[in-house]
Amino acid sequence: MIIVTGGAGFIGSNLVRALNAAGHTDILVVDDLRDARKILNLSACRIADYMDMHEFAARMAAGHDFGPKLEVLFHQGACTDTTEWNGLLMMRTNYDFSRHVLKYATERRVPLVYASSASVYGAGREFRVSEDCERPINVYAFSKLMFDRHVRQVSGTFRSPVVGLRYFNVYGPGEAHKGGMASVIYHFREQLKSGDEIGLFAGSDGYGDGEQVRDFIHVDDIVAVNLWAWRHGARTGIYNLGTGQARSFNDVARAVLKWHGRGRIQYIPFPDHLKGSYQSYTQADLSGLRAAGYEGSFIPIEEGVPRYLDAIA
């Protein structure tokens, strides 16, 4: 048995598909389907069972065993809306629930691979896995950082590997249900479906128009590292997961325009509500991941953007 929390979501469903491709079908998907659009992500997947996250939490608390042999628990489930300021909701979903998952897995010697976030670095310029660099600027980032800190505090008690992966800007198939939280590539495509312009933010934080930069990583790379962490028994730790290469929004927009063969870029005023809580620069320091033994290369946007657009065309 393999458990994937958030298994109907963007990254979780891609992970389920990759597990299927590797011959694994004894999979328990845990999720919250109040937004039932996510079921489309699982329509072609083979899984053994589905369980609501609240029932899953209750069964964990009761000491329920979910299968005769639980091989790994991939914890991808979270509230990922970085504009959400309901701290009670965010901490219950991303912190409290994650602590229960951690306790359940480690007490049973089950490897745990969980999703953290590069948002914990805030508006800083350094993206090393170090407390010196961690400065969250929204409650989503705070919830993720608090769980990472909890993992650090109790890591001496673990009886199985626990690997946290700090995702940078992930894009790829399966994110349509995320709405405003979907990647810019998805939104650029949507803009070109109804017009001939891609809107980018005008200059901010010392960056020129559209020159804010992020570390954009294709979901296939995210899945590959999750599977590597499990199969290779990666040592307990928290690792950055990006490409290690920052690219501008202009670069991404041009890749989308090239695939469509038409369109132009229009710069729009930077939104007031994002001032002070927006990352204008991210770039993963991959030294920890490389030291842990991951040798895979990462998909550049010139390849990843058309791969994504081809998949959803």
Q: Determine which one of 103, 178, 278, 294 is catalytic.
A: 178
Beta strand pairing call for 49-52 and 264-268: unpaired
Query: Cα(176)–Cα(313) distance, rounded to whole angstroms?
Result: 13
Q: Which of 143, 147, 119, 152 is closest to 133 using CA atoms?
A: 119
Q: Spell out the residues 6+ positions from residue 156 whose beta carbon is closer than 8 angstroms to its own.
A: none
Q: Where are the alpha helices (DSSP H) in 62-96?
A: 87-91
Closest CA to 254 of 263, 244, 245, 267: 263
The active-site residue, picked from 114, 140, 239, 281, is 140
Sort strands 247-248 and 216-218 into parallel, antiparallel or unpaired: unpaired
Q: Determine the Cα–Cα distance for residues 25 and 209; give it in Å rounded to an integer.
A: 47
Token pair in block for residue 171: 């894009």
For the chain, the first-to-last Cα distance in angstroms comes to 34
Active site residue 104: no
Phi, psi of 302 (to 5 degrees): -65, -25
| CA pair distance 57, 43, nearest whole angstrom | 25
Q: For residues 300 and 214, what is the distance between their CA atoms, to the nearest angstrom?
A: 13
Distances (CA, A) of 149 to 122, 146, 237, 257: 16, 5, 11, 41
140 is catalytic: yes
The residues carrying an active-site annotation are: 140, 178
